[in-house]
Amino acid sequence: MKASAKSVATPQGKVSAKKPKTATPESRLAMVRRARRINRELAEIYPYAHPELDFRNPFELLVATVLSAQTTDLRVNQTTPALFAAYPTPEDMAAADPEDLEELIRPTGFFRAKSRSLLGLSQALRDNFGGEVPGRIEDLVTLPGVGRKTANVVLGNAFGVPGITVDTHFGRLVRRWKWTEQEDPEKVEAEICAIFPKSEWTMLSHRVVFHGRRICHARKPACGACPIAPLCPAYGEGEIDPEKAKKLLKYEKGGQPGQRLSPPPGYPGLPAPPLGGAPAPS
Ligand code: SF4
């Protein structure tokens, strides 16, 4: 699809839909400046960006992040209220009957493997860490089912330690933006960390994921309604007609529910519906 030079309507107003000139290869310096500008724009578009898993303490975030493999944050959030009511602490979960635990987490898929991870990590927390989630990456990755991605989510959001979380949305968008060509999440993490100051890492991760869920979708990115289109080398990979693009938006300010049943204060959208509950009104 070809880019047009006219303005497009976006959730934030009108932006120029001009495709950036790509005749000469972009220097590293220019890419870094463009990347930081995208981050600043995303901060304005999503000032309320936040982790989209519901949690009240580090243990709940750790468990929710393990459950989020191969499923949506929404499905995890719909599953964890009953799980945490039954097993509020690592000690409680470590003593769970495996079949009961499997049944509670069944909606998140891969429930046998996830149940083994949860039992293993709860037992390790109980036996090795005094029932507390450790706040260091080298300790977190020793827990069953916990890799760097999970550890970074927990450190960034429950302990305030800066970290980049490379999930499917993050990897897709940063490759579209030509911030990296790497596919391996650890290499992506290292390259993106080198572009931004540490203080930006955690919020950048949330903003990018917010943009991936709402506008820059995997199959049909809504380019014609994208506020950062002028900064995006992939403009035109998706729908560029502003009216058609607008229909592709999954945007809380457009009245759509978010992923969290208990969104943080200041979130401008609707809470997600509980499991089996009626969808939130639009
Ligand atoms: S929606 Fe289109 S223009 Fe916007 S970031 Fe994604 S690919 Fe780029």
**pLDDT at 1 > cutoff 70:** no
**Which two structure tokens, joined as six digits, stand for 97?**
């009957």
Cα angle value 147/206/256 (rounded, 5°): 120
Q: Annotated binding residue at 223? A: yes
pTM: 0.88
Q: Is residue 271 part of a domain?
A: no
Q: Is residue 90 part of a domain?
A: yes
Q: Is residue 185 part of a domain?
A: no
Q: 167 an active-site residue?
A: yes
Span from the CA of 281 to the centroid of ligand 1 (angstroms): 28
Helix locations, 106-255, DSSP H? 111-128, 137-140, 148-158, 168-176, 185-193, 201-214, 242-248
pLDDT in tens, 184-210: 999 999 999 999 999 999 999 999 999
Number of structural domains (the chain) is: 1
Cα angle value 117/121/122 (rounded, 5°): 115
Q: Is residue 154 part of a domain?
A: yes
Span from the CA of 176 to the centroid of ligand 1 (angstroms): 8
Q: Is residue 70 part of a domain?
A: yes
Q: Share the mean pLDDT of the chain.
A: 91
Best of 232, 239, 246 for a ligand 1 pocket test (most atoms within 8 Å of beta carbon): 232
Annotated catalytic residue within 167, 220, 244, 253: 167
pLDDT in tens, 12-67: 455 445 555 556 899 999 999 999 999 999 999 999 999 999 999 999 999 999 99
What share of residues in the chain are helix, strand, coil (percent, to 5)? 50, 5, 45
Q: Is residue 87 part of a domain?
A: yes
pLDDT in tens, 211-241: 999 999 999 999 999 999 999 999 999 999 9
CATH of the domain at 118: 1.10.340.30
**37, 48, 189, 194 from 175: Cα distances, Å:** 16, 24, 12, 15
Radius of gyration of the chain (CA): 20
pLDDT score at 23: 66
Span from the CA of 229 to the centroid of ligand 1 (angstroms): 6
Q: Annotated binding residue at 193? A: no
Closest listed residue to residue 167, CA positions, set 79, 55, 74, 69: 69
**pLDDT at 140 > cutoff 70:** yes
pLDDT score at 19: 52
Domain span at residue 125?
A: 58-158
Q: Is residue 12 part of a domain?
A: no
φ and ψ of 248, to 5 deg: -85, -10
Q: Is residue 212 part of a domain?
A: no
pLDDT score at 223: 98
